[in-house]
């Protein structure tokens, strides 16, 4: 028999969801069967899958040790020695700068360097996260950036902040602003409101209202000439490839975008040293009741290197001054 005491980072979860994380390698049928047979009880009583856990609750597992170890969650050990570039941090959240060509999290069976493991290693080194004391929680990001998109990742350091951040994003109380350079002259601000669905080769395309997922994006013109336009993008919903697919829908393409863009334009910018798409999440703006100390605050991370140099050269501007002037954050 094994006892589990629910701590602060586990309270508020449904029992079955907690157990599915704890028994990472077990099917749900294993969990439901053992709840029915009272091999898993909470506070000495039969429990239902939908029961909500509270701090201090005692779960008893009347199972063989070899069965528990067979299905139990592994403690993830990072193979990473790099630490994140932190933009902001408090007791609950952490904002991390993600460069181009770094994964947000590992998405293959083999290990690849990624921003999530860097963040977790950093929190372990500080003593803010102690994996062996946690039953189910692991720090997580609530937004995701493609490998070839740079910008700000929003991390949760405990379960309460993870839930609050997800709720705030769902209620659109956290604004995510992107900077992009597109081929063509854009003369006025515009919005795109479409439904997107995945097709072959992981390409997102417009679908009818009863298919796919709704994608709402606002575009604001920061600077434009006869050949190119610099846009600020307000990502109102968060869908895979949303900005790129929405621009394609109105006949525009991000410079350097190999999936949705134009080969002719991309070749020009590769020759200028830009080997990625010009898309960067440059600002996070908080307007959430759950984060009163951050309400009204903006956190800015301007693009660096070739992106910054190219934008300033094409439009003869100082990028930081331009964004401040336009009151975009």
Map out the domains of the chain as residue ranges: 2-71, 85-165, 173-325
Query: Does the fold of domain 173-325 match that of domain 2-71?
Result: no
Read off the tokens for 326.
């336009």
- Going from the C-alpha of 322 to that of each of 149, 168, 243, 255, 286, the distances in angstroms are 21, 29, 22, 20, 21
Q: How confident is the model at residue 240, as a pLDDT?
A: 83
Q: How confident is the model at residue 24, as a pLDDT?
A: 85
Q: How confident is the model at residue 7, as a pLDDT?
A: 87
The string of pLDDT tens digits covering residues 88-124 is: 999 999 999 999 999 998 876 667 889 999 999 999 9
- Going from the C-alpha of 241 to that of each of 234, 267, 312, the distances in angstroms are 14, 21, 26
The string of pLDDT tens digits covering residues 28-65 is: 999 999 999 999 999 999 999 999 999 999 999 999 98
Could you tell me which CATH class the domain 2-71 is placed in? alpha beta
CATH of 173-325, one of 3.30.2350.10, 3.40.50.720, 3.40.605.10, 3.90.180.10: 3.30.2350.10
CATH of domain 85-165: 3.30.2350.10
The string of pLDDT tens digits covering residues 273-301 is: 998 999 999 999 999 989 999 999 999 99
Mean pLDDT, range 146-151, rounded to an integer: 93
- Give the global pTM: 0.81
The string of pLDDT tens digits covering residues 123-138 is: 998 889 988 878 888 9
Confidence class of residue 78 from pLDDT cuts 50, 70 and 90?
low
* CA–CA dist 71, 82 (Å, integer): 31
Read off the tokens for 218.
């606002």
Q: Are 84 and 96 in contact (CB under 8 A)?
A: yes
The string of pLDDT tens digits covering residues 252-265 is: 999 999 888 889 99
């Amino acid at each position: 028999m094994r006892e589990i005491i629910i701590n602060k980072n586990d309270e508020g979860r449904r029992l079955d969801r907690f157990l599915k994380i704890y028994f990472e390698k077990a099917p749900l049928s294993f969990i439901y069967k053992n709840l029915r047979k009272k091999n898993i009880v909470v506070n000495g009583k039969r429990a239902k899958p939908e029961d909500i856990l509270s701090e201090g609750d005692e779960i008893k597992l009347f199972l063989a040790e070899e069965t528990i170890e067979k299905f139990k969650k592994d403690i993830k050990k990072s193979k990473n020695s790099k630490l994140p570039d932190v933009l902001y941090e408090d007791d609950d959240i952490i904002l991390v700068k993600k460069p181009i060509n770094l994964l947000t999290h590992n998405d293959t069976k083999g290990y690849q360097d990624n921003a999530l493991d860097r963040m977790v290693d950093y929190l372990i080194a500080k003593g803010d996260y102690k994996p062996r004391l946690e039953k189910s929680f692991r720090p997580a990001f609530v937004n995701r950036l493609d490998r070839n998109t740079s910008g700000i990742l929003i991390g949760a350091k405990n379960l309460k902040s993870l839930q609050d951040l997800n709720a705030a994003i769902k209620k659109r109380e956290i604004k995510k602003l992107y900077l992009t350079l597109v081929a063509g002259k854009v003369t006025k601000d515009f919005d795109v409101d479409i439904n997107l669905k995945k097709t072959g080769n992981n390409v997102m395309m417009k679908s009818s209202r009863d298919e796919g997922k709704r994608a709402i994006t606002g575009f604001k013109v920061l600077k434009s000439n006869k050949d190119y336009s610099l846009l600020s993008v307000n990502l109102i919903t968060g869908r895979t490839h949303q900005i790129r697919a929405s621009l394609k829908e109105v006949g525009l393409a991000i410079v350097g975008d190999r999936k949705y863009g134009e080969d002719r334009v991309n070749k020009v910018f590769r020759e200028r040293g830009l080997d990625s798409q010009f898309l960067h999440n440059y600002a996070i703006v908080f307007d959430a009741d759950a984060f009163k100390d951050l309400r009204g605050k903006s956190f800015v991370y301007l693009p660096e290197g070739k992106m910054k140099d190219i934008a300033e050269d094409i439009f003869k501007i100082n990028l930081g001054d331009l964004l401040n002037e336009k009151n975009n954050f």
